[in-house]
């Protein structure tokens, strides 16, 4: 099972900001997109999920072209996108926000199945279970990020696109989010992870693509990129990554994460 972009270009008002992207995401792997602000990561993510039409090139799901499919059709086919900025509906309850994630399947889902899905996605997010009837707007930023991811999971995707899931979160929550992303991979979900926190995303990624001014400039195994000089200089040096001033702390967290992960699987 593969989701692929081939020579994909996308942008705004007919002008490409990502150019000729070749990318593949296989079942059960985490693939990181690393790049500076404005490099084109979100644009690429949106064109894969259909929120932004491709200007040219192909998107293939298990070899079949889907670049003309609507975003809803792509969700039905197993591709869910958790956009940057969470976009939680603050006036709707947490349960209602979750139900929206399964909207495209609503005709096929009985009420019992819908509730089973809510219970299932909440297993990973106990904080949501306790507050299902509370408005989404009452959650903290980190909890809203968890709700946004849980809402994406309501569609039971095979491919999950996460755009800046750690943005604006405290270091503890960042670790929590990264651990959860690892756990999702363990459930067989393939994850395309767009992150400014290059250090931590490369630490958990099976493979990664570095995007610069809309083009892939470097690709390889996540841990291999962590050791590449040009990646270190551009994305991992002091002052780079999430919470630039927190770089040393970010490095310590990454080391902690690595220890947790290496105790759980052979890499
Ligand atoms: P960030 O992490 O800051 O979101 P990014 O790597 O995700 O960065 P994009 O958001 O994809 O980058 O932006 C790529 C380019 O496209 C930037 O030059 C940006 O200004 C431009 N852009 C993004 N959204 C729009 C839009 N809605 N209309 C026009 N141009 C846009």
Render pLDDT for 46-90 as a digit per residue (tens, 0 to 9). Answer: 999 999 999 999 999 999 999 999 999 999 999 999 998 778 888
CA distance linking residue 193 with residue 102, whole number of Å: 21
Please report whether residue 23 resides in a domain.
yes
* Cβ(48)–Cβ(11) below 8 Å: no
* Cβ(75)–Cβ(48) below 8 Å: no
Which pLDDT score, from 0 to 100, does residue 64 have? 96
Model confidence, pTM: 0.87
Please report whether residue 124 resides in a domain.
no
Range of the domain at 22: 2-85+158-262
Dump pLDDT digits (tens) for 218-238. Answer: 999 999 999 998 899 888 875
CA distance linking residue 56 with residue 73, whole number of Å: 19
Q: Number of structural domains, the chain?
A: 1
Q: What are phi and psi of 5, to 5 degrees?
A: -110, 135
The residue-averaged pLDDT of 147-155 equals 94
Share of the chain above pLDDT 70, in %: 89
Please report whether residue 243 resides in a domain.
yes
Please report whether residue 118 resides in a domain.
no
Please report whether residue 167 resides in a domain.
yes
Please report whether residue 99 resides in a domain.
no
pLDDT reading at 267 higher than 50: no
Q: Is the CB of 15 under 6 A from ligand 1?
A: no
**Counting atoms of ligand 1 from 1, which one is nearest the CA of 214?**
14
Q: Is the CB of 161 under 6 A from ligand 1?
A: no
Please report whether residue 152 resides in a domain.
no
* Cβ(241)–Cβ(48) below 8 Å: no
- pLDDT class of 259 with cuts at 50, 70, 90: low
Which pLDDT score, from 0 to 100, does residue 254 have? 63
Q: Domain of 58: which CATH number?
A: 3.40.50.300
Q: What are phi and psi of 87, to 5 degrees?
A: 50, 45
Please report whether residue 116 resides in a domain.
no
């Amino acid at each position: 099972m593969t989701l692929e972009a081939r020579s994909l270009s996308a942008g705004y008002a007919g002008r490409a900001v990502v150019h000729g992207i070749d990318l593949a995401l296989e079942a059960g792997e985490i693939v990181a997109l690393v790049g500076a602000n404005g490099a084109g990561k979100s644009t690429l993510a949106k064109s894969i999920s259909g929120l932004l039409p491709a200007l040219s090139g192909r998107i293939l799901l298990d070899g079949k072209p889907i670049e003309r499919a609507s975003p809803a059709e792509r969700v039905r086919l197993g591709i869910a996108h958790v956009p940057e900025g969470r976009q939680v509906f603050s006036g709707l309850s947490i349960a209602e926000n979750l139900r929206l994630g399964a909207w495209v399947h609503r005709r096929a889902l009985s009420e019992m199945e819908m509730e089973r899905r809510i219970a299932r996605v909440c297993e990973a997010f106990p904080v949501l279970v306790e507050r299902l009837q509370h408005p989404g707007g009452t959650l903290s930023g980190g909890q809203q990020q968890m709700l946004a991811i849980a809402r994406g999971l309501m569609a039971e995707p095979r491919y999950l696109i996460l755009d800046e899931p750690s943005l604006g979160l405290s270091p503890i929550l960042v670790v929590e989010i990264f651990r959860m992303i690892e756990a999702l991979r363990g459930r067989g979900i393939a994850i395309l992870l767009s992150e400014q926190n290059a250090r931590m995303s490369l630490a958990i990624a099976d493979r990664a693509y570095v995007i610069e001014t809309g083009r892939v400039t470097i690709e390889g195994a996540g841990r291999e990129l962590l050791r590449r000089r040009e990646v270190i200089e551009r994305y991992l040096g002091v002052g780079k990554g999430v919470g630039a001033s927190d770089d040393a702390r970010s490095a310590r967290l990454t080391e902690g994460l690595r220890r947790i992960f290496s105790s759980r699987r052979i890499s």
